[in-house]
Structures are given as structure tokens and as C-alpha cells.
Amino acid sequence: MPSRVDDIFYGGQSGNRDHPPRIPSKQYTMITIKFLEKLSEKSLLLSWREPARCNYTEQLWVLYKAPAETTCAVTGERIRRGERVYAPVGQPSNHGKCIRRDAFPLR
């Protein structure tokens, strides 16, 4: 059964719908990531907004093995190569981004 959460994740910081955090990333680009729905054990629906670059109101993210060491777009924590992470489907503007499996409070 899908679960819904109204938390907003932004540059490694979290907030809520009424008080989203306002902390710019290292590139001075304000990226807002909002968890919309858990579709299955292996897929999520997210909203990803990166001003002047991309705005995906409903973007499908699925579990993959990380192809290289990287950083979680939500928590800022290190992701090791081969770790199971969520990544966007296809080749969108944010195709190189990954999110740790435990980054969202899924029910």
C-alpha cells in the first residue's frame, strides 16, 4: 500500500510543508526534493526542483546499484559504489543524482 509523507528534503536538510529549509547547496543552486509516494518496494515518486535547470513535479525513482562513489542528494552522506540507491529513471537533467534507501521516513 502506498504511503505519503509531506516532508521536504533540501540540500541535506529537512523541513516540512509550512517551513521548508532554505539552505543553498555548495553550487549555490537551491534544490528542493519532496517525497510524494512509495509506489513499491523498489520505486518512489519524487518532486525535484532545481531552478534554472529542471523541475520534475512527479519523477519516478527506482532502486539501482550505485555505479560509482557519490553523495546522497538528500542527506549529503557518502554512497559507496555498488550500494543500493534510488536514482531517476531515464536520462533526465538530474540523472547523475542518487538518494540513499534510508533517506526518507517510509512506512
Question: What residue ranges do the domains of the chain occupy?
Answer: 7-100
SS3 content of the chain, % helix, strand, coil (to 5): 0, 45, 55
pTM: 0.70
Q: What percent of the chain has pLDDT over 90?
A: 50
Q: How far apart are CA 55 and CA 59, in angstroms?
A: 9
Q: Give the model confidence (pLDDT) of 67-92 as tens digits.
A: 999 999 999 999 999 999 999 999 99
Average pLDDT of the residues in 2-28 = 48
Among residues 70, 61, 18, 12, the alpha carbon closest in space to that of 39 is found at 61
